[in-house]
């Protein structure tokens, strides 16, 4: 099997001093990379090297400003981490509408500092994505043309409130911000695979990131995987994962019945377009379901 180049749309920096204790304990309990490389992963140059040898060309790095639950890895920290990686790591922002006094203003400043997307954690930060308080943040992302990645699915993090990431609340965003690029991290893990597949299938700017899902189970979780492959990006949660990004990418490559073009879209092309790595705007995907009102 040809080793395909990967863009990893979903990694976290290993900065344990910024994470809540249960988050650190959980990551230590499952992370293969930490067992292999230990605290050297906190060095962005070393971390980039570990991923490069696995065929990863770029990786999105997510801050985690969730003072009520998982931790407080601030956007400034992630921008600094990425800046030291010679362009390998791409920074997203994280703002908390509940504890930041002016999250939209913050987001504007982060965009000016070079972030290429925003991660929101409704179930860790405790608000509904269609809460009108969040709308000014979406306006900033729309104007900047950058994606918003939502944590959508189950989690082991204490003080998680699952109701906030029910994907039905994302539908308002599709209606009110048709140009906003939305990525549903974890594809609704646990409860909402069908809802996420429906949204990604029907809303031109909605996508799924398969982070945290067992790759060989994807055809079972998303029965229309081949057609949905236009809307799926690869992510790993690295280093918080029991395998390596390479192993997960190869497992997607090995899915029976999935075309080589679909694999290429999932592992690389879709993310490159969303992140505008090729200098172009994201192409309009083909419709998945025809007609109907
Ligand atoms: Zn994650």
Instruction: Tell me the per-residue pLDDT of 220-247, one tens digit each, with 9 for 90 and over.
Output: 999 999 999 999 999 999 999 999 999 9
Read off the pLDDT of each residue in 2-6 and give the average, rounded to a whole number. Answer: 88
The pLDDT score that the predictor gives to residue 285 is 53
The pLDDT score that the predictor gives to residue 288 is 56
The pLDDT score that the predictor gives to residue 287 is 47
Q: Is the per-residue pLDDT at 154 higher than 50?
A: yes
Length of the chain, please?
A: 293
Read off the pLDDT of each residue in 212-221 and give the average, rounded to a whole number. Answer: 97
Q: Is the per-residue pLDDT at 73 higher than 80?
A: yes
The pLDDT score that the predictor gives to residue 158 is 86
Read off the pLDDT of each residue in 249-257 and give the average, rounded to a whole number. Answer: 97
How far, in Å, from the CA of 61 to the mean position of ligand 1? 9
**How far does the chain reach from its first CA to its final CA, in angstroms?**
43
How far, in Å, from the CA of 291 to the mean position of ligand 1? 35
Read off the pLDDT of each residue in 99-106 and give the average, rounded to a whole number. Answer: 96
pLDDT band at 183 (very low <50, low <70, confident <90, very high): very high
The pLDDT score that the predictor gives to residue 132 is 97
User: What is the C-alpha to C-alpha distance for residues 84 and 80, in angstroms, rounded to an integer?
Assistant: 7
How far, in Å, from the CA of 179 to the mean position of ligand 1? 24
In the chain, what percentage of residues exceed pLDDT 90? 88
Span of 59-63, 149-153, 269-273, 285-289 with lowest mean pLDDT: 285-289
Span of 54-63, 103-112, 165-174, 272-281 with lowest mean pLDDT: 272-281
Which of 183, 174, 95, 170 lies closest to 140 in space, CA to CA? 95
The CA radius of gyration of the chain, in Å to the nearest whole number, is 18
The pLDDT score that the predictor gives to residue 211 is 97
How far, in Å, from the CA of 259 to the mean position of ligand 1? 27
The pLDDT score that the predictor gives to residue 239 is 97
Which of 78, 114, 112 lies closest to 94 in space, CA to CA? 78
Q: In Å, what is the CA distance from 67 to each residue of 100, 137, 267? A: 11, 19, 32
How far, in Å, from the CA of 12 to the mean position of ligand 1? 6
User: What is the C-alpha to C-alpha distance for residues 56 and 4, in angstroms, rounded to an integer?
Assistant: 9
The pLDDT score that the predictor gives to residue 291 is 47
Q: What are phi and psi of 223, to 5 degrees?
A: -60, -25
How far, in Å, from the CA of 10 to the mean position of ligand 1? 6
How far, in Å, from the CA of 263 to the mean position of ligand 1? 22
Read off the pLDDT of each residue in 154-183 and give the average, rounded to a whole number. Answer: 94
Read off the pLDDT of each residue in 262-281 and give the average, rounded to a whole number. Answer: 90
How far, in Å, from the CA of 286 to the mean position of ligand 1? 28
- Residue bearing the bigger pLDDT, 280 or 137: 137
How far, in Å, from the CA of 240 to the mean position of ligand 1? 8
The pLDDT score that the predictor gives to residue 54 is 97
How far, in Å, from the CA of 191 to the mean position of ligand 1? 17
How far, in Å, from the CA of 79 to the mean position of ligand 1? 17
How far, in Å, from the CA of 267 to the mean position of ligand 1? 17
How far, in Å, from the CA of 258 to the mean position of ligand 1? 25
How far, in Å, from the CA of 292 to the mean position of ligand 1? 35
pTM: 0.94
Q: Is the per-residue pLDDT at 53 higher than 70?
A: yes
User: What is the C-alpha to C-alpha distance for residues 34 and 27, in angstroms, rounded to an integer?
Assistant: 8
How far, in Å, from the CA of 239 to the mean position of ligand 1? 10
Read off the pLDDT of each residue in 172-178 and give the average, rounded to a whole number. Answer: 97
Read off the pLDDT of each residue in 164-175 and give the average, rounded to a whole number. Answer: 97
How far, in Å, from the CA of 11 to the mean position of ligand 1? 6
């Amino acid at each position: 099997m040809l080793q395909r180049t990967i863009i990893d749309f979903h990694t976290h920096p290993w900065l344990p001093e910024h994470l809540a204790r249960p988050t650190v304990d959980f990551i230590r309990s499952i992370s293969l990379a930490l067992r292999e490389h230990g605290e050297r992963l906190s060095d962005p140059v070393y971390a980039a090297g570990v991923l490069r040898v696995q065929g990863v060309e770029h990786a999105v790095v997510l801050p985690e400003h969730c003072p009520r639950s998982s931790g407080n890895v601030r956007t400034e920290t992630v921008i600094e981490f990425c800046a030291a990686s010679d362009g390998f790591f791409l920074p997203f922002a994280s703002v908390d509408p509940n504890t930041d006094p002016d999250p939209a203003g913050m987001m504007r400043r982060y965009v000016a500092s070079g972030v290429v997307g925003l991660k929101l954690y409704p179930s860790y930060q405790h608000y509904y994505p269609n809460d009108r308080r969040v709308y000014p943040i979406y306006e900033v992302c729309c104007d900047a043309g950058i994606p918003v990645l939502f944590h959508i699915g189950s989690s082991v993090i204490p003080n998680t409130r699952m109701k906030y990431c029910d994907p039905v609340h994302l539908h308002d965003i599709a209606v009110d911000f048709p140009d906003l690029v939305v990525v549903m991290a974890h594809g609704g893990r646990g409860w909402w695979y069908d809802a996420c597949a429906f949204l990604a299938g029907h809303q031109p700017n909605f996508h799924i990131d398969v982070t945290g899902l067992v790759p060989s189970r994807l055809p079972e979780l998303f029965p229309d995987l081949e057609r949905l492959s236009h809307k799926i990006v690869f992510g790993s949660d690295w280093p918080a994962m029991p395998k390596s990004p390479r192993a997960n990418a190869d497992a997607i490559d090995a899915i029976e019945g999935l075309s080589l073009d679909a694999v290429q879209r999932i592992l690389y092309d879709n993310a490159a377009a969303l992140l505008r790595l090729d200098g172009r705007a994201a192409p309009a995907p083909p419709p998945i379901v025809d007609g109907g009102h």
